[in-house]
Amino acid sequence: MRTLGIVGPGAAPLADRLVDRLDGRVALVREDGATDGGVAARRDGAATTYNLGPEGWHARGESTSLGDVLDRLAPDHDYALAVGFPAARVPQVALGDVEVDNVLVRAADAAALDPEAVVEALHDQPEHETLESLVAAVKRSPQADRSGAIATFTGRVRARDGDDDAPTEYLEFEMYDGVAERRMRTIESELEEREGVFDVAMHHRQGVIPDGEDIVFVVVLAGHRGEAFETVSDGIDRLKDEVPIFKKEVTAEETFWVHEAERDGT
């Protein structure tokens, strides 16, 4: 799923214009969308309430983050537009002089933007993937009816190996443009040539990833658990050995680039 933030005056109308230009299933998340009109009121004692009706559903619940919402959308959406979240860790369209991180495009106002150029720039950005979205993708494989197993691996940021270690605050990953992605696609294709292996999906996140968050996923759709487990293990080994990804570690005491010593659960 490709994600795009839009902030500043005119952000909401611009989002509506972009929805019409995106080819696929689009989710629209608005920071100011909690209006009472038609939205379910949460009943006392219920953490979350869903109202289902002929025109769709509305929900109220306890506090959640934009990242949580994007993770829920990723398995069955092609795009997500997030309106009004300037601190979001997604590529952003910044309108006016609004302060925002991760600027992809900046313009004086919405009228000064070419929506087609925004869509083109969005397609050059990494996709938002989760373990669930990759599992959903392999389940859509043409050979899914022959599969009796899906095996997965998730690597995450480990705070420390031992009690005396300085806690890791975050890892930062950098990749050469396109090179790492092409290499992962090659590894996927080569693993899919194995007998009994039908689909392989890999994803490695980029940028800053705090302690406790997921970094890398490998998902294998196979005929039986044996092929699935073996291919997942070989897949993560090959990814770490063959894909050019550079990792910086920031602990409570120091900052350094990681080469031999691995601190990320993989």
Cα–Cα distance measured from residue 3 to residue 80, given in angstroms and rounded to the nearest whole number? 5
pLDDT score at 32: 56
pLDDT score at 244: 92
**Alpha carbon of 78 to those of 3, 26, 197, 240: distances in Å?**
9, 6, 26, 28
pLDDT score at 165: 83
pLDDT score at 258: 77
Mean pLDDT for back-to-back runs of 10 residues, the chain (266 residues): 94 91 92 47 68 82 86 95 92 93 92 92 93 97 96 94 86 89 97 97 94 96 98 97 92 79 46
pLDDT score at 65: 87
Cα–Cα distance measured from residue 17 to residue 248, given in angstroms and rounded to the nearest whole number? 39
Strands 207-210 and 168-175: antiparallel
Residue 216: Cβ within 10 Å count: 23
pLDDT score at 184: 96
pLDDT score at 266: 54
